[in-house]
A and B are shown apart, each in its own frame.
Chain A
Amino acid sequence: MKSWLTTTDHKRIGLLYFWTAFGFFLIGGLEAMIIRAQLIKPDGGLGVSAETFNQLFTMHGTTMVFLALMPLSAAFFNFIIPLQIGARDVAFPRLNAFSYWVFLLGGLFINVSFIAGPLFGADRLSVAPDAGWFGYANLTSRQFSPGPNVDFWLLGLQILGIASLAAGFNFIVTILNMRAPGMRMLRLPPFTWMALVTQFLIITAFPVITVALVLLMFDRFFGTHFFVPQGGGDPILWQHLFWMFGHPEVYILILPAMGIISEVLPTFAKKPLFGYTVVVYSGVVIAFLGWSVWSHHMFSTGLGPIADSVFAGTTMLIAIPTGVKIFNWIGTLWGGQIRFTTAMLFALGFIAMFVIGGLSGVSHASAPSDLQQTDTYYVVAHIHYVLFGGTILGLFAGMYYWWPKMTGRLLSESLGKVHFWLTIIGMNLAFFPMHFSGLLGMPRRIYTYSSGLGVTTFNQVSTIGAFLVGLATLVFFWNLLRTRWQPVTAPSNPWGGSTLEWAIPSPPPVYNFTVIPTVASRMPLWKTERHAPMAALPERPPAPIHVPGGSWWPMITAFGLPILAIGAISRTLPIVFVGVAVVLVGIYRWAFEPFEM
């Protein structure tokens, strides 16, 4: 127990990230199930009130984006990146532990709002955030949202931002500076490359939302008018700041999954990644363009024809590097010896579903058509094809691919295939009809609809599909748990992968590599035209290896942040001071504790 609380081992932190994020994924999924059950018939199938419904869709979006998808990617960054680059750990192991604890506590802080009502004198149990996951001004002002709901949201997201930023600095340095000899930048595995691009997006995008949240905090706590029209403030500024973060965030969510796909497809097609360099550069181009498109979320605010045209153009441009990647993945499959393992099925599912989401995305890029689609279920269909059909299918591919490496145990392939088919059928039943209900005029975020709207059947199909996805997720959960109860031991390289993580035992020993390997090619474990496979590493370390010990201070410092937030939300200055003191003491003890790398 103590060793897990104080751990600075990137593999253990990776597993902590995985289980925590998977827990939040189940909570976010449960919220989705309630939403869909409510919408199964006109006038509400579950009797959920409008207030509760607002909380459910807000928390579903916030949870899935910040507490499930990002940290599930982070689980793989933590576990896999040091192994792929031939390192013993990340550059700053204690900072890494800090990121995890801040993420866990920030996630708990937001979710506590579900039962915190009585503490705030509310007449209901739940005071969860209820202004939507992008919290548009001036709905979030004290005037229109008087309760603590939005405060939980804005304080929680600031805490989570600290976790992401700290991890971002850590992984940039790890990837650039901790590579094994011979691991040049253009020999990095594509997953690590996409992770690097993602970290640059994180450290540039998160400060922007931090500023937006701080300004909102000043509006709500101290009575400023940054987003309040009565005082001259402009609610549209919130949209600019939010989407300046929000659009890079979309690529923060999808690029890691694209990286996973670029590992899985070559392994199971037994061919090198087609056009590796172009795939890498396309990822970089996507990130750059991702910074120039934010206003396509705001066409309906009336930006004017020049701005509309520019942002429509830049948005359509992104289809080019994305298309390049898709054709390269297909090129990888072409003529390969394909093995349809579960990981491979999810990777193929990613390509197909992401293309659908990408196409509806291009249809938003056109400002006139976007005006028809804004705030309808068509947008909900799009976001779920890219974030579920894209990111989550990609993450599932990664789970089946790397689970044996992470735990030393194989997941059941037959249960995996049940999981895959239930997921793919369920998600298409759930999300495809939303294109139609949206174009027929069904607005997003309504808690009931009337039978005369003509969207009843579409909604019923969507609900059935959503429950199939829920069932599929339970199958997957069962599959995970089964590896504990009925373990099937995994060899070091069960899939015949080409990258360094497969050169060491499953699960890897605490020091990862007995000797740091020297890398001579992009696929060190495969025979290529010019290179023989890397020689096997010795089974025992020839010299003693120093492994850094654990530390309490990252976790203790992290605890200061929710204490600070509790002080702020309850307007209790002494608690704020306690939070500051905990952070200060934590940082000083951390800085001065003997910790040898």
Chain B
Amino acid sequence: MTARFHLGIGLDGAGWHPAAWREAGARPTELLDLAYWVDLVQIAQAAGVDLVTFEDAFGLQSSGFGGVDDRRDEVRGRLDALLLATAVAPHTSRIGLVPTVTTTHTEPFHVGTATATLDYVSEGWGGWRVQVSGRAHEALHVGRRSIPPLDPAAVAAGTDPAQTALLEQLFGEAADTVEVARRLWDSWEDDAVIRDVPTGRFIDRDKLHYIDFSGDHFTVKGPSITPRPPQGQPVVYVLAHQKVPYELATRSADIVGITPRDDAHLSQILTELADAAATVDRTAPDPLRVWTEAVVLIEDSTAAATAALARLDKAHGSTYTSDTVILAGTAATVAAQLLDWHARGIHGVRLRPARLPADLVHIVDEVIPVLAEAGVLDRPADADSLRARLELGRPANRYATTDADAAPTDSVASTSPADLAHHDLIGSARS
């Protein structure tokens, strides 16, 4: 059997190119309307996309990494991603909904119950893209913590000890937040509600558990106010670009999104991920899935795609750059790249449409059929949750006191061929 290749779509505003909102098909006046987002997610769902993500931040959008700029030619204004995803949920039934939720200034208890509630409203299709806020001006939104300005170049180079220390602090806090959420999700056993009339008890209190988390940034007592969500553990996605975030991902995530520029970079990233996995104690359920990320812009010919990108860049007044590869070409060339990643053992991809809805429609109408033809999109026919769709299994409850709960209710299937470079990553992550 050919291993499956999973597909995610990253949704943000009118698309990832900052001038996308000016395209003829764009709907820039509807970006705060639920109906717009429902339309996009339903397009993805109908094509069998496994999950969509919703971008967010702990502040207003800005073109740079510094404070909020005064540009008026880019999309500004954004809905809280978790609330948006939860409002989309009643309109969908079989696609993962993965909002971005910041860990730096938020309350871990609220994050835990909110993500659990998304899982309830979506009936088992909830996830969470973990994000830190390293922006100094966003710290001023809360006003109790001073974050020095991050220098992305110094962070990437790893040359400034102060910047590295800050990064470790932010991602350490993120790891603690994920740990708190995971413990809160498990803090009710699945059969805690008993409704036992003779004894007058609604719950079996022995099946609710204090999580007693204590870390450098906060303590949380628990248990959750929200019972264990349908998936047991909603899917945690971590986008990562270097060592410190790789450690967060290998410790805490179900899926890590990586951003290879080319094949050599991909090999390097997989090695670094394996190194990270070897240094952390993994606390997430196995396995860890590795997805690549790409911005996509699709036209009928390479020349037309190049021209479209040039048109957008001209409208914006600068050449678009991204933290990941930009695939501007035909559906065939995009599909070929995805199949190549699949052949290298990558488990899935998060595609970021340069223009919405245009490039989402191109992906759905032109790329997905090629992947289906190649036989990499077969899905479990009866998948009734995001974890089931991704064959991640339903994790056992860490607090379970009975045999029925202690055993996983689903087997965990790994789709990674044994001979791949990153197999060791997954192996070591398991230990």
Determine if chain A interacts with chain B: no
Chain B interfacial positions (CB closer than 8 Å to A): none
Chain A interfacial positions (CB closer than 8 Å to B): none
